[in-house]
Amino acid sequence: MHTQVLFEHPLNEKMRTWLRIEFLTQQLSVNLPIADHADALHFFRNIGDLLDVFERGEVRTELLKELERQQRKLQAWVEVPGVDQNRIDSLRQQLKNAGSILISAPRIGQTLREDRLIGLVRQRLSIPGGCCSFDLPTLHIWLHSSQAQRDEQVGRWIASLEPLNQALTLVLDLIRNSAPFRKQTSLNGFYQDNGEDADLLRLQLPLDSQLYPQISGHKSRFAIRFMPLDSENGQVPERLDFDLACC
């Protein structure tokens, strides 16, 4: 059984932002519960990065627009014979609910932005080694408080992101499942095609080829160049088969 590696490449700015948010929120729960400095710094660094991403754009507005767009796309399927009506209705209801929750939620990241401990750690993260106990006695004492106390606080912070996560997970699932993988072949390590207004490219490569894709482009055209992991001795085959989905 050959191991396949999945690469995803966003074709517009909103998709780039969404994939970054998804990556960071997944990282948040990796080292839980927070028991020591290493866990804490992993967690607070991801929170800081998330807040930076939120500050750069209109995340809520873009997501609400996308929830609407996905509802319209599903509406178009309603008339198609042989379509699973219950599945369509259930998805439309989920999109509607996620939209209502997102609209009525406080500003995204507000709870985290107003938290004193997060603010203090965030200020020191850009200083090399700036989170030592003498730099951040607040964090030091927090790490000595009871595990239950920390867990409860961390739980509240993560729960504050739930309206965003719910909407984002739904939207990304629908986008990822909107197109099937198809076999394609690159010649001398190069492949290009039309994106036809796609948001996301998904590409599967066999791990044993030891190649990775460098993708450039936007929603209407894209190009993929395959590069060897070992830049000195690696070979790119004349013809390379790979699976591609334009979502």
Separation CA 58–CA 18 (nearest Å) = 11
- Average pLDDT score over residue span 219-247: 91
Least confident of 42-46, 118-122, 192-196: 192-196
What is the pairing mode between strands 211-217 and 182-187? unpaired
pLDDT in tens, 140-182: 999 999 999 999 999 999 999 999 999 999 999 999 999 999 9
Identify whether the C-beta of residue 185 lies closer than 8 Å to the C-beta of residue 240. Answer: yes
Residue 120 CB: number of other CB atoms within 10 A? 17
Q: Which residues are within 8 A (CB) of 4 and not within 5 positions of it... i.e. 6 or more apart?
A: 204, 205, 206, 207, 243
In angstroms, the Cα distances linking 62 to 34, 102, 140, 207, 239 are 33, 11, 39, 35, 40
Least confident of 27-31, 113-117, 144-148: 27-31
SS3 185: strand
CA dihedral sign, ordered 156, 157, 158, 159: positive
Separation CA 67–CA 79 (nearest Å) = 20
CA dihedral sign, ordered 53, 57, 59, 65: negative
Q: Which residues are within 8 A (CB) of 127 and not within 5 positions of it... i.e. 6 or more apart?
A: 135
Separation CA 224–CA 218 (nearest Å) = 12
One-letter identity of residue 121: V
- Average pLDDT score over residue span 236-243: 93
- C-alpha dihedral, 46 to 49 to 51 to 54, nearest 10°: -120
Separation CA 19–CA 25 (nearest Å) = 10
Distance of CA 168 to the CA centre of its chain: 8
pLDDT in tens, 30-88: 889 999 999 999 999 999 999 999 998 899 999 999 999 999 988 888 777 888 888 88
pLDDT for res 82 = 81
